[in-house]
Chains A and B, each alone.
Chain A
């Protein structure tokens, strides 16, 4: 079955870009927005895994799901 990948992009008043990746099954979603990070210059400020990530990762028994960052 096909999966929908969804990127919610916010551009702040100074042009800084925040991407939220949604609806990707499994922990592999951390690589989904990499093309956009590179396109915007690649100087990444932070990567925060949301509570939703932890819940789903824990349910799937993903190793390292309690680590923040990359």
Chain B
């Protein structure tokens, strides 16, 4: 028997986010960081992803559970990369989602064969986690 559940991805793990950034070849820095925006704009955040000339700020949200949002001048980042800013956000979000799924499943004793993770042309991914008990 089986059922489906769909969940909106929110950033709850900086470890998984750092792994996602590393996979995309983007430096990740944690701590009180200085974030670079368009035209010399600056802000402070709890972590950042270095996207080239600009950064993505990782800002802790004021909620009881550990949770973060990504704040950036997405337009400037998209322009620099020659891509739509939506694509940049989507890529970061799905790479984070993958790392978080793997991290969480392994913590629960599930086994995932990373070589078996299917990545499709549209960027979507599929994987199987299994355990015996």
Given the known inter-chain contacts A11-B101, A14-B90, please indicate yes or no for A37 contacting B5, CB distance below 8 A.
yes
**How many interface residues does A have (CB within 8 Å)?**
49
Chain B residues with CB below 8 A from A19, complex form: 4-7
Chain A residues with CB below 8 A from B72, complex form: none
Q: Is the interface of A mostly helix, strand, loop or mixed?
A: mixed
Chain B residues with CB below 8 A from A26, complex form: 1
A4-37 to B contact mask, C-beta < 8 Å, 1/0 = 1111111111111111111111110110010111
Residue of B nearest to A44 (CB): B7
Most buried by A among B4, B96, B103: B4
Chain A residues with CB below 8 A from B94, complex form: 11-15
Least CB distance from B94 to A in Å reads 4
Chain A residues with CB below 8 A from B67, complex form: 41
Q: Contact size class for B?
A: 35 or more
- Confirm or deny: B122 has a beta carbon within 8 angstroms of a beta carbon on chain A: yes
Least CB distance from A38 to B in Å reads 8
Whether B110 and A7, one on each chain, are in contact in the complex, defined by CB atoms closer than 8 angstroms, is: yes
Least CB distance from B9 to A in Å reads 5
Whether B132 and A49, one on each chain, are in contact in the complex, defined by CB atoms closer than 8 angstroms, is: no
Find B97's partner among A30, A40, A55, A56 (CB 8 Å cutoff): A40
Whether B98 and A11, one on each chain, are in contact in the complex, defined by CB atoms closer than 8 angstroms, is: yes
Find B8's partner among A4, A20, A41, A47 (CB 8 Å cutoff): A41
Chain B residues with CB below 8 A from A50, complex form: 1-4
Least CB distance from B113 to A in Å reads 13
Q: Given contacts A15-B9, A16-B9, list 17 more A-B pairs with CB under 8 A.
A: A2-B133, A12-B124, A15-B96, A17-B7, A17-B97, A18-B5, A19-B6, A22-B2, A25-B1, A29-B1, A39-B100, A39-B104, A41-B12, A43-B8, A44-B6, A46-B5, A47-B5
